[in-house]
Amino acid sequence: MRVLRPVVHAASDARAYWLDDTLVRWPGQPADARYRLVVSSNAALRVERGKPVEGAGQSFALSAANGVPDGVERRFAFTGGGATLLIPETARRSLRDLLRTQVMLVREDAQGNVFDATYLQTPGALDVLYRAAEAMPLGADVLDGETAFAIWAPTAVAVAVCLYDDGHRKAREQIPLDVQQGNGTWVGFLPNDLRGGYYAYLVDVFVPGTGIVRNRVTDPYSTSLTTDSARSYIADLDDPALKPAGWDEAPRPPALASNTDMAIYELHVRDFSIGDDTVPMAHRGKYLAFTDADSNGMRHLRALGEAGITDIHLLPVFDIATIPESGCVTPVIPQAAPDSDDQQAASMAVAANDCFNWGYDPFHFNAPEGSYASDAADGAVRIREFRAMVQALHAAGLRVGMDVVYNHTTASGQSPRSVLDRIVPGYYQRLDANGKVETSTCCDNTATEHRMMARLMRDSVAMWARDYRIDSFRFDLMGHQPRAEMIEVQRAANAAAGRHVPMVGEGWNFGEVANGVRFPQAAQGMLNGSGIATFSDRARDALRGGGCCDSGDALFAQGLLNGLAHAPNARARGKATRRDLLHAADLARAGLAGTLRDYRTTLADGRVAPLSALDYKGMEAGYANQPGEVVNYVENHDNPTLWDIHALKLPQATSAQERTRVQLLGAAFVAFSQGVPYFHAGMDVLRSKSLDRNSFDSGDWFNRLDWTYAVNGFGAGLPPMQDNGKDWELLRPVLRNPNARPSPADIAWMRDAFRDLLRIRASTLLYRLRSAEDVQRRLAFRNVGPKQNPLVIVGHLDGDGLAGTYRDVLYLLNVSPDAQSLLLPEEVGKGYVLHPVQAADGAADPRAKQARYAAKDGTFTVPGRTAVVFVVDTKKDTR
């Protein structure tokens, strides 16, 4: 950044709003006061309380507005009451020019002295004035031997494009761009094909509190970049040079008939291969590791696909701000005790410069991340190798999902890592009542309710679906985005791909947008009928115990899986009751029924009621309209792994073998649930992060995966201090517990038993019902009501009239360490046999074969900590 003209008035608060191109509002101010817009084209305003404004080249007296159009009022209802003012015609005629200057709203006293003054938040006006920009091509485009540049910068006073040969040498040319007044886009056309070159923009723009600045900035629509995202790359994504061999003809798994046919495995690119010795060194941690078809990791993924996983969802692979793309450091981790802090000290000493991060730090939404490419300096390489990764996964029969983050940027303002806010200050980020950037998402929130931020999200998803053949998307903190915009994103992705592109996301309802205060959100309970799915925390918490972000004694709060009220750990003894256990069992059933709002069943208190009547932490447990609109899970990249949760919550004397069975039960609840099953990579091999609750920047050591199945990562030392240090003394004895360290045999057993669960789910449509009506008709829970045995969850699936499936499916999930017997009169006289997968000679779990069914009275006996499935084959049913 270079400051061309510094401001005289150093404050930067923006407590007033442009509502559209005719109205402004200043919340909290009286309507009958005296107001004036003051303007300076050279950032010379001097505004002091009790004195007249100095340095204004223009000023406009404002009057109280007679009313506000309904649509405008709805959009800005969150601002509350205050002075709503009408812009005079003289100002409206030159409003586009005014918005390129320093403009402040001043409240004056009767003598014309300043009583108060503020900047105005501009998105309301920009969205009206530049509606036409939605249809303008943006970015660098090569066509018919020419190269076009286009950047939306409606408040800029000048824009130029700088051309470079590579990422190091100085610009060889600087070309001024021309503004199209009607849409605010700056464009330039050069009579040369510049593909393979690099560029950046120079944007001269006014920034409140700073002045008129010249920002050298990359393109928000960059399709690739040079090292560390310093310069944008000029590409034609249809160029054969940017495609791996065979890309155009490569087969692709077909689109699925329903969201419920998905089974998702969530995976981090670097985790996948960085520790895999069967991958060539140059490919480890890179996109190209997925092209090594005979590696241990790819063998593992193919086996999952053959068992029933349909989609590999990759943690962020767009351009990430927090991973060095050259010279990243790999720490040397000392050999130390399982509860030592030495390992984390070594890892965290270089965390800012190591090669690892989850990647939820967007820099450029439309470009592949460079640290995963073999050569980050060459913009072509990351495009080609990303496509090679997708092509390899498709060749393995796996669809590719992508984790996308449009709810925040890594930085805003004049930070070097800020892109959008250095082009159109104050537009792309969501601001609070004082004009400061909201940060409820952990970083600098974006405002996808603004027209051009919504367009960027829409264009970005469409590009990934069209040009990289991404099959499905997971949206980080989707609840911070408007429902209406997510529906438009879905339409754009489908159109770009030429087929349906499933979308799932985090529908958490919190922050400055909570409860629809700014717009109807893409959050839990608000997406019904959209076909877009949200993650459900209902069964997750009931099964695991506690909540997502526990600390202190709450770390040991038990759930249905790990001993709630029936096998208490030392810290939980005497705290849970049968009532708690019954409620957890009801919530577990809610998950199995797809968290459907209107699904009716018998609850623990004896009521026959919809799941919306079941309480979950003061909210409705049932919130979804259709099973395809909910994602079921017990573990993902956030929070401790399921193995680590059980390490804390199970009685410490529980053997590793029994802990492994508890892990499998958690997977079974997900696999048998209506909706979309979602599994974290490594859950199937007992993955541990050594109790780390937030491993986003914990390095390879705490995030490792072992495809030799020798170790699971438990006891790798105390987890990093930053997010775990306050609980270290509670964690130390857990990490020392030898019972929480599985053997290779335990890991291999879990691997194989998990795949059996996938095969069972894939064997029948009854686990993948398409509609709420079908779920209500075909799924019925047994062993319910106040007299139930809550340690055994029983679901009956009716296959009558459903082609190609079993006549009956009955699953029983026994969370008790002891065998349990149930009398189920509804099941008397049926020809139940153990599911063929569990009955097979090579079935992973021999304990399941000990389950018994007595047809004469409907008695079922289920071994301890076992999930069993009985079926009645249509051909063999003799009823």
Backbone dihedral angles phi then psi of residue 313, each to the nearest 5 degrees: -95, 120
Catalytic residue among 506, 550, 644, 727, which?
A: 506
What does 465-499 look like in DSSP terms, one character per residue? HHHS---EEEETTGGGSBHHHHHHHHHHHHHHHTS
- 506 as an active site residue: the answer is yes
Please state the separation of Cα 364 from the chain's center in Å.
Answer: 16
How many CB atoms are located within 10 Å of the residue 346 CB? 17
Classify the C-alpha dihedral 722-726-727-733 as positive or negative. positive
Concerning whether 476 is annotated as a catalytic residue, the answer is yes
Contact 845, 805 (CB under 8 A): no
What letter does residue 704 receive in the DSSP assignment?
A: -
Backbone angles phi, psi at 233, to 5 degrees: -110, 140
CA atoms within 13 A on the CB side of 405: 24
From residue 22, alpha-carbon distances to 76, 371, 449 in Å are: 14, 47, 20
Q: Which of 574, 693, 558 is nearest to 637 (CA)?
A: 693
Cα–Cα–Cα angle for 608, 614, 617, rounded to 5 degrees: 165
- Complete edge-to-edge strand list for the sheet that includes strand 185-190: 139-143, 146-152, 185-190, 178-180
What string of DSSP letters covers 421-474? Answer: GGTSTTTSB-B-TTSPBP-TTSSEEB-TTSHHHHHHHHHHHHHHHHHS---EEE
Kindly name the residue from 204, 476, 586, 629 that is annotated as catalytic.
Answer: 476
Nearest to 629 by CA among 735, 738, 531: 531
Tokens of 122: 């501009």
Q: How far apart are CA 329 and CA 822, in angstroms?
A: 58
Q: In terms of Cα–Cα distance, which of 95, 117, 103 is closest to 40?
A: 103
The packing angle between helices 296-307 and 744-762, to 10°, is 40
Sign for the CA dihedral angle at 568, 574, 578, 580 comes to: negative
CB distance 642 to 634 below 8 Å: yes
Round to whole Å and give the CA distance between 299 and 758. 17
Residues with a known catalytic role? 476, 506
